[in-house]
Structure 1
């Protein structure tokens, strides 16, 4: 059965005037009560946001079974060793419920975030892979060096080897890196065919991934399985494309006609949303962002989402 994840609205414009960000914890509790499988938070320096790792620590304290994740975390914004400590601590405090989807940012958008983080934009993909490899070495208790200095031991995560790490993106280089280095794939392609081709490409290089209609294969040589996931922005109801346009203009400053060429956005009845998502064969974990601009609507949409998807 496909798992359902919900993205907490930690970034503006997900709140209306007077919304209390502490209500995010209430939303997390409600999602767990409704039987949602996982809760996710985004990461950006381009607009106001409740910091993602801080949010997950708060959510871990008020929930007990629901999975926790970052979708997507941009490691370039954080010092690698300190991030390894923080993520291992989150995994321990949550009882091993953490999954991390990582990314390297978006051209013509994230360069500013890299600049204020004092990290070069060049070689960002190699730096991302190196950071993830460092985290895993530290979590496994292996010797690691940064700047020629041996890193002291970090707190071991709850699970041996640490939390699963997924990769966002659907470029050819991203697909190759998923197969080699990551535990899951979390893209948001607007066309099902793009997803199918990406999944087939990963499956060809990573035997643990199975293409739609094919039986699951064995584990990777490194002992990992790759989880095929999908990120989608959804709005249930009669507002349709007009409501989505309002949301994406508030979130990105661009019209729907532009944003929908980049990422998957769906509005309409539960039946319509199910039908669109059903075109994406092979998905094992849906990560849904609700395209609403205030917290009460997020709560109402969450209940509809759980009943209808």
Structure 2
């Protein structure tokens, strides 16, 4: 099971210097991948949990690609309805090509109703839009001509990775599991327990995959590294459940409880060494 780190791209500690430090840490410590989160319009409900300044994930990942050579780079998760799908397809294909094929494309529907309102996107249609946009993006990654909006467009360049960058789909609701089964290379649930996965989540995923007529996607959860001993036990259980990747998130959930990057990196390095 490959370990990755979640790089905070928000708050007062989010600076180019800090991002560079995180990138060096990930590569030097042997983590396999690094991911960052996504918000476009930081409304007050978002800012209460993820305060500004909030750095754009794609711009930041492109910059990180230029100062790294090995670590894979991804989103946890891109909120697909926030952007036009042809734009997202082009940006992600460019990013995969410019990074030498290191993109992991994590996607989800999001939760911030006020952010949807600020962007003029109907919150009630977020699931349907995510499915529609995933279909467009996957087509754009693999075809030289794509029809959308009544026009035929050239989406090239295509990504480096074949057949396309891995798509990690987040969410635990029934609609999310159907989306994972239909589009996903991996399921990327956030803050779930091994017990819940064993008893409910994975059986539901297997049923959704069978209904979709596709292989069961891989398991790539994200957990908080608040209690290192608990996280260590859970990591072992995730591995027993067949998880291929595990993303470690050191952000405690509120800005008041946040630690410095140096403290978080010491915690991550100790955790990796303990496994």
In the superposition, the TM-score normalised over structure 1's length comes to: 0.76
Residue aligning to 2:271 = 305
The separation in 1 between residues aligned to 2:192 and 2:98, in whole angstroms, is 36
The separation in 2 between residues aligned to 1:273 and 1:137, in whole angstroms, is 38
Residue aligning to 2:249 = 289
Residue aligning to 1:32 = 27
2:232 matches 1:232: no
Most deviating of 275-284 and 60-69? 275-284
* CA contact 2:180–2:186 (8 Å) conserved in 1: yes
Q: How far has the Cα of 1:72 moved from its partner?
A: 0.7
1:125-147 Cα deviation digits (max 9, x unpaired): 11101111101111112532222
Looking at secondary structure, tell me which structure has more helix per residue: 2
Q: How far has the Cα of 1:194 moved from its partner?
A: 2.1
Q: How far has the Cα of 1:58 moved from its partner?
A: 1.1
Q: How far has the Cα of 1:225 moved from its partner?
A: 6.5
* CA contact 1:136–1:161 (8 Å) conserved in 2: no
The separation in 2 between residues aligned to 1:228 and 1:40, in whole angstroms, is 16
Q: How far has the Cα of 1:165 moved from its partner?
A: 1.0
* CA contact 1:169–1:186 (8 Å) conserved in 2: yes
Residue aligning to 2:8 = 9
Most deviating of 79-88 and 143-152? 143-152
* CA contact 1:170–1:189 (8 Å) conserved in 2: no
After superposition, the Cα gap between the structure-2 partners of 1:28 and 1:134, relative to the gap in structure 1 and judged at 3 Å, is: same
After superposition, the Cα gap between the structure-2 partners of 1:12 and 1:141, relative to the gap in structure 1 and judged at 3 Å, is: same
The separation in 2 between residues aligned to 1:205 and 1:74, in whole angstroms, is 22
The separation in 1 between residues aligned to 2:167 and 2:109, in whole angstroms, is 14
* CA contact 1:271–1:308 (8 Å) conserved in 2: no
2:83 matches 1:78: yes
Q: How far has the Cα of 1:277 moved from its partner?
A: 3.1
Aligned residues: 255
Q: How far has the Cα of 1:5 moved from its partner?
A: 0.8
The separation in 2 between residues aligned to 1:274 and 1:169, in whole angstroms, is 23
Q: How far has the Cα of 1:305 moved from its partner?
A: 2.6
The separation in 2 between residues aligned to 1:274 and 1:302, in whole angstroms, is 11
Q: How far has the Cα of 1:116 moved from its partner?
A: 1.4
User: For structure 1, which runs of at least 5 residues remain unmatched after alignment?
Assistant: 208-219, 236-266
The separation in 1 between residues aligned to 2:176 and 2:15, in whole angstroms, is 37
SS in 2 for 1:123: helix
After superposition, the Cα gap between the structure-2 partners of 1:191 and 1:20, relative to the gap in structure 1 and judged at 3 Å, is: closer
Residue aligning to 2:59 = 54
SS in 2 for 1:22: helix
The separation in 1 between residues aligned to 2:98 and 2:154, in whole angstroms, is 21
Residue aligning to 1:274 = 232
State the superposition RMSD in angstroms: 2.1
The separation in 1 between residues aligned to 2:158 and 2:192, in whole angstroms, is 38
User: For structure 2, which runs of at least 5 residues remain unmatched after alignment?
Assistant: 252-257
For residue 140 of structure 2, the aligned residue among 130, 134, 138 is: 138
2:3 matches 1:43: no
Residue aligning to 1:104 = 109
